[in-house]
Chain A
Amino acid sequence: MGSVHPPGRILALLLAVVVTAIISMGAVAEQQNDPSYWLQKLGPALTKTSYKGVFVYARGDQVSSMQVAHRYHDGVIEERLVMQDGEIGEIVRKGRNVVCVLPEHGRLELSSAIPSGPFAEAFTNQLMPVERWYRPEITGQDRIAGHDVVRLALKARDSLRYSHELWLERSTGLPLKGKVLSGSGESLEYFHFTSLVISDSLPDSDFVIRTEGREVSRTLPAGKGPGKSDRAGASEGQEKKMEGWTLGWKPEGFHPAAAPGSGSAGAVAFSDGLASFSVFVEPAGGTDMPSGTSRIGATTVYMQRLESSAEAFLVTVVGEIPLETALKVAESVDIRNSSVLGANLR
């Protein structure tokens, strides 16, 4: 008889359970409304999610669709990208080994399309205080390619960079849609998955080259992994790469991120965790390039000649940044030692 609880106690117990459930649900909801939660998820989501799908990519008036498969297998990233429009081409990556089968595009040497430098792994936003330069905000929920997504707006806090918008899959945080927006809110470029399967059991056959054609393979130099390099280390390494010239000004928050590996000493990339730009400094002797600017989608190109101690150099800034920023960066290039830069080409 003593084991029978009075109804009041049972009710109280039930109430406690319900209240706890409501509170924990509230906590989850609160967490999901917190933009930082999603920003933290983004880095791991990009590497460690296994997925396969088709996305559309648009910049300027170009629209193309691509098929992608990605998995994290035994601690190694495997990826396969197949172009769906125009001539067939594909890129397969397994860890640091990259194999490309690419169509010929006019006279362009396409082996240069293979990522020869380290895969910008310093660009992991975990290392970058993205929130200092962008105001993150959850702006709603949506559905992309059949998956529930959270819409994350990253509004630039200054006019030196573009704003971004990401649609992140609810369970993994994988971006299924992304947009780069100008200061006036114009969409400059976007990608958008039209079909997507998230699965940990993608078959090996999804990661094998299938196209017949000119095959080029390359092993990426072992660089610093995202976990191993802190930003100070990256900057130190960069000092050597920037030998011969310095930047007098760069937009706040941009740090040297990746060393292009193609042998040109005069090239350095900078990133603020979301956007990036590359600066190239070369003696103007080789090819006579015009000065000026060009834009496609979110990418700005700015070129300018620079005279330094009777020698002419070509300064080029390429990046997903507004023209004003590119212009200021290019103008701030200061040649310190022209012989270092010149020696590479002659």
Chain B
Amino acid sequence: MDDRLKETLSAMMDDEADELSVRRLLSREGQDEVRVQFQRWQQVRDLIQQRHPAVESIDVSDGVRDVLEGHYPRTSEQAAAAPPSAGKRWQWSAVAMVTLALVVGFGAGTGWDSSPVQPDQSALAGIPELAIQGMDEQQREQLSRYLLQHAQHNSVGAGHASMGYARAVSASGAGY
């Protein structure tokens, strides 16, 4: 099934498919495939929304086709091509929800990536890493003093007024 048809199917689940697309979908060969796909998505949606599972056996395609042919008075409810329970009560499509979850998840993942940056050791092999955790309090205090003094040097300048302040505050924090 191509993407365009999947899109139509997805739109139908949202009650947003236009008539032309639905016609195209129903006139397509391999209705079984379409039906299976639609039912699968319905199940996924029901699962996400914790609704009662849709009745799998109902095939409404004939009814929809009839509506489109104008055999019955057209209402949007009937054209929805969905099982009776799929009204307008829900606003988020399963597809949209999954997409949102992905986007949010991905965005959060990139934003909070805090993998430690290792100094390039190739030319500097042999320089011991200062184990700040292993320092005694006096040593740590001395180091903090240096960091704070340095931070205050660039508290206004260096093009980052806020950054200088932030460095000073950050240096006094639990990080060191």
Contacts and interface: CB of A to CB of B under 8 A. Distances in A.
Interface of A: 42, 46, 55, 57-64, 66, 68, 70, 81, 83, 86, 89, 91, 102, 105-110, 112-117, 119-125, 164, 166, 175, 178, 182-183, 186, 188-189, 191, 257-258, 260, 262, 267, 269, 271, 273-278, 280, 286-296, 299-303, 316, 318-320, 322-324, 327
A40 B160 CA distance: 15
Interface in B139-170: 139, 141-150, 152-170
Given A166-B159, A290-B131, A320-B154, 8 more contacts: A57-B162, A60-B114, A120-B153, A120-B154, A288-B139, A292-B129, A323-B119, A324-B123
A102 B144 CA distance: 15
Task: Identify the interface centre among B116, B138, B160: most chain A CB within 10 Å of its CB.
Answer: B160
Given A122-B157, A294-B130, A295-B117, A318 B165 contact: no
B127 interface: yes
Nearest 10 interchain pairs by C-beta:
A123-B157, A292-B128, A61-B114, A57-B166, A115-B152, A294-B130, A269-B153, A318-B150, A292-B130, A278-B150
Given A60-B116, A70-B161, A262-B149, A293 B130 contact: yes
B61 interface: no
A164 B159 contact: yes
Contacts of B152: 114-117, 119-120, 260
Contacts of A116: 152
Contacts of B112: 63
B131 to A, nearest CB: 8
B150 A182 contact: no
B119 A293 contact: yes
Contacts of B128: 290-293
Contact of A319 (B119, B131, B150): B150
A103 to B, nearest CB: 9
A294 B157 contact: no
Interface in B84-137: 112, 114, 116-117, 119-120, 123-124, 127-132, 135, 137
A119 B155 contact: yes
B143 to A, nearest CB: 7
18 contacts: A46-B156, A46-B159, A57-B166, A81-B165, A112-B149, A119-B156, A120-B156, A175-B159, A191-B163, A271-B153, A278-B153, A287-B142, A289-B139, A290-B139, A292-B129, A296-B175, A299-B167, A318-B149
Task: Identify the interface centre among B123, B142, B152: most chain A CB within 10 Å of its CB.
Answer: B152
Contacts of B21: none
A68 B157 CA distance: 16
Contacts of B175: 60, 62, 296
B153 A258 contact: yes
Given A112-B145, A293-B127, A294-B132, A123 B156 contact: yes
Contact of B158 (A68, A70, A105, A275): A275
Contacts of B163: 57, 178, 189, 191
B146 to A, nearest CB: 5
Contact of A280 (B146, B158, B161, B162): B146
Contacts of A122: 157
Contacts of B167: 59, 299
Contacts of B174: 105-106
A115 B166 CA distance: 13
Contacts of A110: 172
Nearest to B152: A115
Given A178-B163, A290-B130, A293-B127, A318 B172 contact: no
B117 A60 contact: yes
Contacts of B158: 120, 123, 271, 273-276, 320
A169 B173 CA distance: 30
Contacts of A102: 172
Contact of B149 (A66, A83, A188, A278): A278
